[in-house]
Structure 1
Amino acid sequence: MSSYAETKYRAVTAFQRRLNAVVRRLPGQTLLETTGRVSGLPRRTPVGGRRTGDSFWLVSEFGERSQYVRNIRADPRVRVRLRGRWYPGTAHVLPDDDPLARLRRLPRGNSLAVRAMGVGTGLLTVRVELEGQGTES
């Protein structure tokens, strides 16, 4: 990774860490809950994406460097909170999917942010196969 990309990664992740602490508490925010690969504790990350049928699609702006992607690699069982309901599911990291093409099919605002923050850092598509009807949060 270039020094520019590394500097950008550090700056954006520091900003996101502070912002996510507030955003994850908002009732309408979509959250991805993974299990911490070291701690074993639930880790909730605000994400943007779109539900299509029984799948939820998102693009990680930092690819394999994203903590939630690392957690998914260790344990693909996740939960996604959509519109106040939690859905269990199984996450799949899709390195062969075209993340830029995928972003064109996801909500515009989030896609613009992912493109702006993730340029040069290895965008990566994630699909979550949702199970069940979901439960209230």
Structure 2
Amino acid sequence: MSGPTDRKHRVVTLFQRYLANPLNRRLPFQVLLETTGRKSGLPRQTPVGGRRVGDSFWLVSEFGPKSQYVRNIQADPVVRVRIAGRWHHGTAHLLPDDDAVARLRALPRFNSAAVRAFGTDLLTVRVDLVD
């Protein structure tokens, strides 16, 4: 039996996978997080919202360990992030002890509102950029 949280996750994930993400990936200045598929080994690009602070890029995953890109990071933390049209290499760190709701207050407002509205298991992710 599935509860309201599981249904919400399925509906939002289907919307993102088949409508929102394919459109957003085409926008030249959309921030993209590129992970390596844990099963396929292929690059997987996910539109994300977040902010660069110094040599780190911060974001909050709305579904935590259920997010495919979080699962990919768990398998291989080496990632790339496209910020303002430029790719940066980095290492992603999952921060379950960080206050994700407080973190969202420091990130772009529109995306943060969507993450709070649709998210069910918030998880902070920090990417330490190397270039």
TM-score (norm 2): 0.97
Amino acid of the structure 2 residue aligned with 1:114: V
CA shift at 1:128, angstroms? 0.1
The separation in 1 between residues aligned to 2:89 and 2:69, in whole angstroms, is 16
1:96 match: secondary structure: coil
The separation in 2 between residues aligned to 1:107 and 1:27, in whole angstroms, is 18
Partner in structure 2 of residue 112 of structure 1: 113
What is the CA deviation profile of residues 30-59 of structure 1, one whole-angstrom value per residue up to 9, with x for unaligned ones? 000000000000000000000000000000
The separation in 1 between residues aligned to 2:106 and 2:94, in whole angstroms, is 17
2:7 match: secondary structure: helix
- Correspondence list, 1:48-127, <5 A: 48-118=49-119, 121-127=120-126
The separation in 2 between residues aligned to 1:126 and 1:98, in whole angstroms, is 11
Taking every aligned residue pair, what percent have the same amino acid on both sides? 71
1:7 match: secondary structure: helix
Partner in structure 2 of residue 5 of structure 1: 5
The separation in 2 between residues aligned to 1:13 and 1:58, in whole angstroms, is 18
Amino acid of the structure 1 residue aligned with 2:26: R
TM-score (norm 1): 0.93
2:106 match: secondary structure: coil
Partner in structure 1 of residue 16 of structure 2: 16
The separation in 1 between residues aligned to 2:130 and 2:26, in whole angstroms, is 24
1:11 match: secondary structure: helix
CA shift at 1:21, angstroms? 1.0
2:65 match: secondary structure: helix
The separation in 1 between residues aligned to 2:50 and 2:85, in whole angstroms, is 15
CA shift at 1:23, angstroms? 0.9
Partner in structure 2 of residue 44 of structure 1: 45
1:69 match: secondary structure: helix
Name the Cα RMSD after superposition. Answer: 1.1
